């Protein structure tokens, strides 16, 4: 199969069929992001013939794996949901043609990708099998969204995800701990909880900001324009987020950026999650947490 650069997927898509339909990011301007710096281009759509060829390879391989099947496909790339509705539906038809056991399809999406689609487009995609998106909202803090050049505001997150709710497309959020900067973590956490409390995310996944020298944010730090939270502050920020979420959802901190794995359901596991965070703060401490961050060579 054809894959370009590093392939990223959420932890919960581990058992999904991974299919490259795009590579890179249409935005590629977020100051903290280095995920697609290994590509020689900003964004590329896979030719439909390449997608079909990959699916033919999957179908052929599955014939040799008796009893194994895929129930779900995950389209790779930073934001495949930017593709036109007709193309996304055509991809779904190809998936069903060659891997008929696949019932649902997911992918990464930017908030702005939803903006580009009409309500009828979203309904058509839901009917075509697109049942769940992973959206890196990062924060509900408008000041941080502007500084990091995300290309949307907190109000846009609420508006566009409300449209997804109406269309019947579920969504998971990624929250970027420390994106608001030193001294503003609790502000960012409360603003993000205020956004999430208006919506219905299946899961809120926390990833801790890890700054690499090839990011624009690193240059902003060198210029004295931004300061990162301490590692302990990051855990206090997560604690504040959990305290202020008033919806039923999953909370998870499972990616490599997290020194300690956290997972639970809100509101029932709130106390247990807070206890676990307090234990990390009290017994691990800044030095050991810093060691983890400094030795994290890649996300």
pLDDT confidence of residue 7? 92
Residue 3 lies in a domain: no
Residue 239 lies in a domain: yes
Question: DSSP of 122-135, one letter per residue?
Answer: HHHHHHTTEEEEEE
Q: Inform me whether the pLDDT recorded for 124 exceeds 90.
A: yes
Query: Is there a contact between 245 and 196 (Cβ–Cβ < 8 Å)?
Result: yes
What are the contacts of 272-276 at 24+ separation with CB within 8 A?
273/242, 274/239, 274/242, 274/243
Report d(CA 201, CA 216) in Å as an integer. Answer: 30
Query: Is there a contact between 9 and 16 (Cβ–Cβ < 8 Å)?
Result: yes
Residue 138 lies in a domain: yes
Closest CA to 193 of 107, 266, 114: 266
pLDDT confidence of residue 14? 95
Q: What range does the domain containing 232 cover?
A: 11-294
Residue 4 lies in a domain: no
Q: What is the mean pLDDT of the chain?
A: 97
pLDDT in tens, 143-184: 999 999 999 999 999 999 999 999 999 999 999 999 999 999
Going from the C-alpha of 69 to that of each of 13, 21, 65, 98, 215, the distances in angstroms are 15, 21, 8, 12, 40
The domain that holds 236 is classified in CATH as 3.20.20.70
- In this structure, the number of other CB atoms found within 10 A of the CB of residue 92 comes to 20
**Between 110 and 40, where is the model more confident?**
110
Closest CA to 205 of 275, 256, 272: 256
Report d(CA 50, CA 1) in Å as an integer. Answer: 9
pLDDT in tens, 259-299: 999 999 999 999 999 999 999 999 999 999 999 999 998 88
**Both structure tokens of 217:** 């944010």
pLDDT confidence of residue 296? 92
pLDDT confidence of residue 298? 81
Residue 42 lies in a domain: yes
For residue 137, what is the enclosing H or E element?
Answer: strand 130-138
Burial (CB count <10 Å: 0-12, 13-18, 19+), residue 137: buried
Closest CA to 111 of 91, 138, 86: 138
Residue 124 lies in a domain: yes
pLDDT confidence of residue 60? 96
3-state helix, strand, coil in the chain (%, to 5): 45, 20, 40
Count structural domains, the chain.
1
Residue 1 lies in a domain: no
DSSP letter for 43, please: E
pLDDT confidence of residue 228? 97
pLDDT confidence of residue 66? 85
Q: Report helix, strand or coil for 67.
A: coil
Residue 212 lies in a domain: yes
Angle at 47 between CA 1 and CA 116, to 5 degrees: 115
pLDDT confidence of residue 35? 94
pLDDT in tens, 128-144: 999 999 999 999 999 99
pLDDT confidence of residue 67? 87
pLDDT in tens, 94-114: 999 999 999 999 999 999 999
pLDDT in tens, 215-240: 999 999 999 999 999 999 999 999 99
């Amino acid at each position: 199969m054809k894959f370009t650069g590093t392939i990223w997927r959420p932890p919960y898509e581990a058992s999904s069929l991974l299919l490259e339909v795009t590579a890179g990011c249409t935005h590629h301007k977020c100051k903290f992001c280095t995920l697609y710096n290994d590509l020689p281009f900003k964004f590329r759509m896979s030719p439909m013939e390449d997608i079909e060829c990959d699916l033919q390879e999957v179908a052929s391989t599955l014939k040799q794996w008796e009893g194994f099947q895929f129930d779900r496909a995950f389209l790779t790339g930073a934001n495949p949901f930017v593709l036109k509705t007709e193309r996304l539906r055509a991809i779904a038809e190809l998936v069903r043609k060659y891997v008929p056991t696949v019932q649902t399809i997911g992918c990464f999406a930017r908030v702005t990708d939803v903006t580009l689609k009409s309500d009828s487009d979203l309904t058509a995609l839901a009917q075509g099998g697109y049942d769940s998106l992973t959206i890196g909202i990062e924060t509900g803090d408008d000041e941080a969204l502007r500084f990091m050049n995300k290309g949307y505001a907190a109000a846009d997150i609420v508006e566009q995800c409300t449209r997804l709710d109406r269309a019947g497309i579920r969504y998971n959020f990624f929250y970027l701990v420390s994106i608001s900067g030193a001294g503003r973590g609790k502000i960012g956490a409360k603003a993000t909880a205020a956004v999430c409390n208006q919506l219905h995310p299946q899961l809120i996944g926390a990833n801790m900001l890890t700054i690499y020298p090839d990011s624009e944010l690193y240059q902003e730090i060198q210029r004295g324009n931004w300061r990162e939270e301490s590692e302990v502050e990051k855990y206090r920020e997560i604690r504040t987020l959990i305290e202020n979420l008033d919806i039923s959802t999953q909370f998870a901190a499972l990616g490599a950026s997290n020194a300690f794995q956290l997972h639970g359901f809100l509101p029932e596991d709130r106390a247990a999650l807070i206890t676990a965070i307090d234990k990390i703060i009290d017994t691990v401490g800044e030095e050991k947490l810093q060691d983890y961050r400094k030795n994290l060579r890649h996300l």
